[in-house]
Amino acid sequence: MRHVTRALPACLLLLFVGLLSPRAEAFSVEDHGALTKAALEAAMRSGQGKRLSEHRDSVLHGSTAEDINLHVKWTGWHHFYRPEGRIDSSLRQGSDARVRVLWDEALEAARHGDLPRAWDRAGHLAHHIQDMASPPHVVPVMHGAGDGFEALGIRDSLARLPPRRVAPLSGPDAQHALARETLDVVRTQSLSTEDGAEIPWSAFWAEPDSRAPGAFGAYGLVGNAFGETKVRWKGREHRVDPARTAAFMDARAAAAVAYTRAFLEWAAERFDEASAPDAPRVPLRDYRPPPELSFQLLGGVHRNSRGTAPSTGVRATLPLPHALGLSMDWTRYVDAGSRPWPSGGWALSVQSPPLWVWRQGYSRGLDLRATAGVGVYTWEGGSRLGVPVGVRAHLSLGGPFIATTEVLYQAMRPPGASWTHGVSWTVGLGMALGDR
């Protein structure tokens, strides 16, 4: 059992590392920032970007944070979208679902005068629009960090960006239009090689055979070879002029900038309307607790047949798919009587999705969840098994601050005796990294 006690923190660490492991991305974080900056500058040069210039930093932050907030990305939404059908997975929804949520959050923030938050959410949304310029994100092809298109980067393309203008569009419309455009390019256009061969772009990214929801394609007959100067096609090796590859990248970068600008200009008009003094009052949306990583300090009391003892401790939590949560608590009991008590231990618990939620104004929310887990406690020189089950209330205090209170039934096997049954109550105060 001692080995189990030591293994609990290690298991949580491994899960945390696995959650944050780099997976499929479209453009790099730096490229998203550069695309967003180019869109903002294009809007400001046209004389339509005064409001954008005031909130430039918020937009840029959002467009890059969407990839950095991996605990949100890997428990709620992926960054793929197929314009001809849904590609939700068993664990995560598609990019289009994320776009709808982000716009609802942005518009609500604007209605309450929180324009920095509104523009930050718009930046998060712009990130998903830009992803639609990447062929593997609309075909779609699941990939890692080694995808040829995305590894090539767009900095050189931005330096020679061809001019392009798209009329203002909503977030979902901009996402769909750019995804459709990129998919049509893959289907209808080709790469001209130095020896005169025409290799269709679909030989680089092949669509799925099945039209069933959630179906992904794969790299085509050429393989993951975009950006290489030599490719194999129909049994022969063909040399590729880098200028041809650059022209393809230039067109995709220009599209990403143009559609990002179209959305941001549209959003500016909507935010002005929503934040106007005479704007109609709109009820708050239902509270939806964001996925969050948190750390709390705990204090409480435990009571069982042997008496009552105060406790202190710490808690770390991380989100899981389907609005579940994982919580690890370390507790230290203070012996309050002559009969021996456990000195403390670890407990690993799973939290249910919210059973009940209550929104306390724009910036505060309360949710109630069930918890169940297993613990290992040190007692009279040995490790003893415990089973905590209960309910936990979680209060978002605004900003990064949170408070929790929890009531648990705890069954524990003490040394040389039958199971004991008790109840514990704890209060926690701490900080959380949510969907920011």
pLDDT per residue as tens, the chain (436 positions): 444 334 344 344 434 444 444 455 678 899 999 999 999 999 988 776 778 889 999 999 999 999 998 888 888 899 999 998 888 888 889 999 999 999 999 999 999 999 999 999 999 999 999 999 999 999 999 887 788 998 888 989 999 988 899 999 999 999 999 999 999 999 999 999 999 999 999 999 999 987 676 789 999 999 999 999 999 999 999 999 999 999 999 999 999 999 999 999 999 999 999 999 998 888 888 888 989 999 999 999 988 777 788 989 999 999 999 999 999 999 888 765 555 566 778 999 999 999 999 998 888 899 999 999 999 887 666 678 889 999 999 999 888 999 999 999 988 776 666 777 889 999 999 999 988 7
Q: Specify the long-range contacts of residues 198-202, CB closer than 8 Å, at least 24 apart.
A: 199/231, 199/233, 199/238, 201/135, 201/248
Q: What is the architecture, at CATH level 2, of domain 287-433? A: Beta Barrel (2.40)
* 270 vs 125: CA distance, rounded Å: 15
* 41 vs 376: CA distance, rounded Å: 57
Q: Do domains 22-192+241-275 and 287-433 have the same CATH topology?
A: no
* Residue type at 291 in one-letter notation: P
CA angle at residue 68 from 63 to 70, to 5 degrees? Answer: 125
Q: How far is CA 280 from the centre of its chain?
A: 32
* 150 vs 341: CA distance, rounded Å: 58
- Among 248, 213, 234, 402, CA closest to 325: 402
Q: Where along the chain do its domains lie?
A: 22-192+241-275, 287-433
Phi, psi of 331 (to 5 degrees): -125, 140
Q: Is there a contact between 207 and 139 (Cβ–Cβ < 8 Å)?
A: yes
What is 22-192+241-275's CATH superfamily? P1 Nuclease (1.10.575.10)
Give just the sign of the alpha carbon dihedral 337, 342, 347, 352.
Answer: negative
* Residue type at 347 in one-letter notation: A
Phi, psi of 196 (to 5 degrees): 90, 0
The answer to pTM > 0.85 is yes
**Which two three-digit tokens encode residue 285?**
């949306």
